[in-house]
């Protein structure tokens, strides 16, 4: 399945929904460009909905780290939520759960973002 994403922007925060397979660096270029646009517009709090993400490898992990870095450098935050078991295990194995804020639901992600 091809990687895709949608962005639902509301003032200073956005829900970024990612789906499919994130396995090549080039797949994420449009997403990273959109993240730059969000930062420029003052939207720096991102809840990243991963429910539709089926699979990702190290390139996918790198994309998530780039998103988090963009948000934090701009004074914001990114929270991951709705991960499937396989991706949740990958986040744990790589210890990225110590870098990212992770939640089970959008409501919990919004609390972590102070929205």
User: What is the reported pLDDT for 25?
Assistant: 85
User: What is the reported pLDDT for 43?
Assistant: 97
The residues spanned by each domain of the chain are 4-106
Q: Which CATH class is domain 4-106?
A: alpha beta
Neighbour-count burial for 88-113, b at 16+ CB within 10 Å, e otherwise: bebbeeeebeeebbbbeebeebbebb
User: What is the reported pLDDT for 54?
Assistant: 95
**Residue with token string 């709705």:** 82
Cα distance between residue 102 and residue 14, in whole Å: 16
Could you tell me if 50 and 18 are in contact, meaning their C-beta atoms sit under 8 angstroms apart? yes
pTM for this prediction: 0.94
In the chain, what's the furthest Cα-to-Cα distance?
A: 35
Helix residue ranges, H only, the chain: 29-40, 58-73, 85-93, 106-112
pLDDT in tens, the chain (115 residues): 799 999 999 989 999 999 999 999 899 999 999 999 999 999 999 999 999 999 999 999 999 999 999 999 999 999 999 999 999 999 999 999 999 999 999 999 999 999 9
Going by the DSSP 8-state scheme, the letter that residue 114 receives in this structure is T
């Amino acid at each position: 399945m091809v990687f895709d994403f949608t962005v639902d922007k509301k003032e200073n925060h956005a829900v970024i929904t990612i789906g499919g397979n994130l396995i090549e660096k080039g797949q994420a270029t449009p997403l990273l460009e959109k993240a730059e646009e969000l930062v420029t517009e003052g939207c720096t709090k991102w809840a990243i909905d991963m429910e539709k993400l089926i699979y990702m490898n190290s390139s996918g992990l790198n994309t998530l780290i780039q998103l988090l870095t963009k948000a934090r450098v701009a004074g914001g935050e990114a929270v991951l939520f709705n991960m499937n078991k396989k991706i949740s295990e990958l986040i744990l194995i790589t210890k990225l759960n110590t870098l990212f804020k992770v939640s089970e639901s959008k409501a919990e992600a919004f609390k972590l973002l102070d929205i």
